[in-house]
Structure formats: structure tokens, C-alpha cells
Amino acid sequence: MKLTPDLQLEILEKIGIYSSRFSIPEPRILLSTKEVLDMPKEMTEGRRTSAYKYYGVSYLQYNLVFINVRKIPDEKTLENTLVHELIHLRFPYLAHGKRFNKLVRQGLRGKTFLPYRKRATISAI
């Protein structure tokens, strides 16, 4: 797809909607490999120079998502990629697999997820 101002606005609007549904802070979105390479190296470490190979990449520690618009062939793949990357942010402990794919499908269908809560540790006094 070609990144136009209208498409950029559409992506940012969808990110806002899905972030709200998934109860996560809205991530910073990068839409070109140039933007990835312009980021500080420590923020994109690990998938800095290989990011162009993927439809999308999540940099969990920095609440940062790269959407490789030029590589994405159509609207359906774009929507799937947006949800896929946001599911990574919402469920950082979950690897790809059946459960992950189920959550992506649920997200695409409009499911809302409650905020993620870390388990409290109990200490004896």
C-alpha cells in the first residue's frame, strides 16, 4: 500500500480505537523503515535492520509499533496487522500460537479486554 495522509490518519484512528478496546496506552506508531532507523538504537534493538521484512513489529519495552505499510498488500491485512501488534502489547507474555491467534480474531470482531493487572505478591509478616 502507498502511505498517503488519508491512510496515515486512518491507521492512527484505528490504533486509538483498538488501544481503547484492549485497555492499553496508545503506542507510538512508526509507518516507514526510515522512521525505525531514525529512532534511538536502544529503542529498536533486535529488529532494527530486519524490520522491513515484516508487516509489523512491536517494541514492547517502549510502547512502540512499526507498521510496514509499503509491504502490506490490502486493507484486510492492514487491519489484521494493527490488531496483531496491539495484541502483543496487551498480552506481552503470550507467544504466537493458537491462543494468540484466537485473541487476534476476537480483537478483529470487536472484543474489549479488561486492563492487564500484574499479580500482587503476598508477603508474610
Report d(CA 10, CA 91) in Å as an integer. 24
Q: What is the DSSP string of 5-48?
A: HHHHHHHHHHHHHHHHHTT-PPPEEE-SHHHHHHS-HHHHTTSS
Which of the four pLDDT bands, split at 50, 70 and 90, describes residue 115? Answer: confident
Domains and CATH numbers, the chain: 5-108 (3.30.2010)
Q: What is the pTM of this model?
A: 0.89
pLDDT in tens, 50-101: 778 899 999 999 999 999 999 999 999 999 999 999 999 999 999 999 999 9
pLDDT in the model for residue 122 = 55
Per-residue confidence (pLDDT) for residue 60, from 0 to 100: 92
- How far apart are alpha carbons 97 and 13 in whole angstroms? 28
Question: Within 10 Å of residue 44's Cβ, how many Cβ atoms?
Answer: 21
Tell me the pLDDT tens digit for each residue of 1-22.
999 999 999 999 999 999 999 9
Given this model, what pLDDT does residue 46 score? Answer: 83
